[in-house]
Amino acid sequence: MNESSVQNAVHAAGNALQKSFTTRAPESNKLGKDEFMKLLMAQVTHQDPLNPMDSKGMMDQLTGMGSLEQLVNLNKAVGQLSETQADVLRANTFSFLDKDVTIRGGGVPVNAGQAPALQFAIPRDAESVKLTIVSPQGSPVRELELGAQGPGNHAVTWDGQDAEGKPVPDGFYKYTVAARAKDDAAIPVDMFVRGKVSGVRFEHGRPKLTVNGEDIDMR
């Protein structure tokens, strides 16, 4: 077979591949492994026996194609694993419905002038403890001087009133606790809220639990 015949055969194979591309949907108009193998076989079949193709170049192409296929398969496997993990996360999140939970952080809802207990824990004796309640807008509404407190968990009752004795509007109020020892050194305080999970939703893939009327990030 002369050089002109080889070129014509390869050109015909290329035209056949191009024609197959034009009959496909735009999103699949790509050179895949099947098309690559057809083109390679056309080149091998119609090569000049006196001047064969470079075997090293052919092996490089085959190796590259094999590596690409492995990467594609790996990408698919990772995608399937991510979907499985997302399904497991959703299932675990919905299992919290109607369960009593404890959430780190100081905050309570006020509904119709009523608020649940404000809870915190200190690791050792405190000479003085002060609890500050903050409105949803971020301004202090009430300070409670609790005096000396022992170690452990504590629950403080709040009547839902501000410093002037007026009922505060309904909403979610945060609180902070400052505890000091006899030498005036600050004592670390853990604040927490207890409540029942009444709802579950997802925001940008992150699960949130509805507790005491507020959405809490599951983390």
pLDDT of residue 180: 95
Q: Strand (E) positions, 50-189? A: 100-104, 107-110, 118-122, 126-134, 140-149, 152-156, 171-180, 186-187
pLDDT of residue 92: 79
List pLDDT tens digits, range 93-135: 777 888 888 888 888 888 888 888 899 999 999 999 999 999 9
List pLDDT tens digits, range 151-186: 999 999 999 999 999 999 998 899 999 999 999 999
Q: Six-digit token pair at 92?
A: 């675990």
198 bridge partner residues: none
pLDDT tier for residue 61 given thresholds of 50, 70 and 90: low
Residue 7 has pLDDT above 70, yes or no: no
**Mean pLDDT computed over 10-38:** 58
Q: Six-digit token pair at 25?
A: 């949907």
pLDDT of residue 104: 83
**Mean pLDDT computed over 192-206:** 81
**Lowest model confidence (mean pLDDT) among 84-98, 153-167, 196-210:** 84-98
